[in-house]
Amino acid sequence: MVCFDSTKTLRKRYCLEADMDFPEASDRPLRRCAGRLELRHFSSSADMSRTSVVSVASAKSSIFNLPLHNPPALVSPQWLMEALFTNQQEKDQSMKESQPHSVFLLDATWEATSTTSAYEQHYKRGHIPGALFLDLEALCQKQPNSHMCCPIPDPGKFERFVNNLGVSKDSHVVTYDSLDGRSAARVWYLFRLFGHEQVSVLDGGLRQWLQEGHQICTTDKDGTCRLPQEDQSLNTSQSTQKFKAKLQPNMLIGFTELKSIVEKEDAQIIDCRSELSSSEKPSTAYCSNATAMTSCASSHEVPSQGQIKGAIHIPFVNLFTPDGKFKLEEELLQVFEKAGVDLSVPAVVYSQRGMSACTVALAASICGIPTVPVYNGSWTEWEAMAPSCLIVKGKKTDQI
């Protein structure tokens, strides 16, 4: 295993800020709230008394190895570090290889518009130790003569794909990416779409992992840097608890159904595309979301190329802090409220290709709303198929 000290040269590569001091894990109590599970530092006992917390020691038995009936949408790097340590301890003690609800880490980095392999460009250059690469490009291949850029795989393909990675029905999947969080949110959404609720996103992704001083690897001693094949599993265990995909239709909406909704005005339609000039798009090294946060259109502007009639514009970057982490629940609620979205009534979300829309579904889950359906065909399909009376034209710029 080749690992690097993230406090040195790799910080420059990822455009990270100066070193920060963090308390040891034992000094950072575990906090679990609506959509997050994290280790947090408190400056005084008074601060701790205002928050329900458990110690790291008890967390190892009460959270990592017992059923997570309400798995958190987000986990912090320190929580993940503790979970991976627990996984390794179980293996070192010759316990059975597939522990109930053990953490299964997936690197989901993908740029839908890039012609370069994310596996070569990102994963092999550095990933969290123990993470397997989930190839979204292979999983969501565009079909000929289809207007969908990022189609949803059929249940059988998704089931085979994740089983070949070694994910079981009891795995607590944690996913992350090294870019802007959209591909990690996409994987979170796909697991939820196919009935697996034991899935979380590493808040802030690889950037936050490095920011907190953790290491990354370029290769793994067990050979998991190679890509999985359809007929060959990367996991050598013969687990009888295989993953079974069961489509949850309430999480997905198609063109015909959305057309009816728009015509009848039966639900809120959220357009989460962001508009940036080519020079303002986040770099592949993912320095920060700060540029996107300051340059995106307001919720009252019509995105370029137009938008679905009656849609409310909430650029997905407004859901994040400048350092790439999701905003807190109360802040997310303010984003929705300011835009005029009432999460207590039905809503549907779309983006340019269906990727960014998953960040809104995740943000809604953080706010306690488990299901906001995604229109996966999104703008590319709607623009090609919808009647002109259901399209509001806007000023053209580049989009993500």
Last residue of a domain, one of 246, 265, 287: 246
Strand ordering across the sheet containing 172-176: 53-54, 30-32, 36-39, 74-75, 199-202, 172-176, 103-107, 132-133
- CATH number of the domain where residue 346 is located: 3.40.250.10
d(CA 13, CA 188): 27
In a domain, 400, yes or no: no
Residues 241 and 276 in one domain: no
Residue 71, domain member (yes or no) = yes
- Indicate if 85 and 99 belong to the same structural domain: yes
Query: How high is the pLDDT of residue 121?
Result: 73
Q: What's the pLDDT at 237?
A: 46
- Residue 227's pLDDT is 43
Shared domain check, 81 and 210: yes
In a domain, 328, yes or no: yes
**Residue 398 placed within a domain:** no
The pair of structure tokens assigned to 377 is 């065909």
Backbone angles phi, psi at 32, to 5 degrees: -120, 120
Residues 232 and 273 in one domain: no
72 in the same domain as 55: yes
- Which sign, positive or negative, has the C-alpha torsion 306, 308, 314, 316? negative
Instruction: Verify that 232 and 258 share a domain, yes or no.
Output: no
The residue count for the chain: 400
3-state secondary structure of 75: strand
CA 153 to chain centre: 17
CA angle 65, 185, 392 (to 5 degrees): 155
Number of structural domains found in the chain: 2
End position of a domain, from candidates 193, 221, 246: 246
Q: Which of 246, 265, 283 is the last residue of a domain?
A: 246
- 164 shares a domain with 68: yes
**C-alpha–C-alpha distance, residues 87 and 239, integer Å:** 16
Q: Are residues 177 and 63 in the same domain?
A: yes
CB 270 within 8 A of CB 312: yes
Determine, yes or no, domain membership for 399: no
Cα distances from 11 to residues 15, 108, 214, 235, in angstroms, run 6, 21, 11, 32
One digit per residue, the tens of pLDDT, for the chain of length 400 reads 445 444 343 334 433 333 333 333 333 333 334 455 544 333 333 333 322 222 233 333 333 333 445 679 999 999 999 988 776 655 545 444 444 458 999 999 987 666 667 777 789 889 999 999 999 988 887 777 767 678 899 999 999 999 999 999 999 999 999 999 999 999 999 999 999 999 999 999 999 999 999 999 886 544 444 444 444 444 444 455 899 999 999 999 999 999 999 999 999 999 999 864 232 343 333 333 333 333 333 334 556 678 999 999 999 999 999 999 999 999 999 999 999 999 999 999 999 999 999 999 999 999 999 999 999 999 999 999 999 999 998 754 444 4
| Cα–Cα distance list, 258 to 101, 120, 154, 359, 389 (Å) | 36, 38, 20, 19, 14
Q: Tell me, yes or no, whether 37 and 134 share the same domain.
A: yes
397 within domain boundaries: no
Q: Alpha helix locations (H) across 119-222?
A: 136-139, 155-165, 182-193, 205-211
- Residue 77 lies inside a defined structural domain of this protein: yes
Q: 254 and 239, same structural domain?
A: no
Could you please report the per-residue DSSP string of 85-125?
A: HHHHHHHHTT--SS-TT-EEEEE----TT-SS-HIIIIITT
**Considering the entire predicted model, what is its pTM?**
0.75
Q: Do residues 16 and 126 both lie within one domain?
A: yes
What integer pLDDT is reported at residue 197 of this predicted model? 94
The sign of the CA dihedral 248, 252, 256, 257 is positive
Residue 283 lies in a domain: yes
What angle do helix axes 255-264 and 378-385 make, rounded to 10 degrees? 70
CA-wise closest residue to 65 among 83, 78, 52, 38: 83
Exposed, middle or buried, 100 (CB in 10 Å: 0-12/13-18/19+)? Answer: middle
One domain for residues 184 and 58: yes
Q: Which domain holds residue 290?
A: 250-392
Nearest Cα residue to 249 out of 371, 149, 342: 371
Distance, in Å, from the CA atom of 297 to the CA atom of 84, rounded to the nearest integer, reads 40
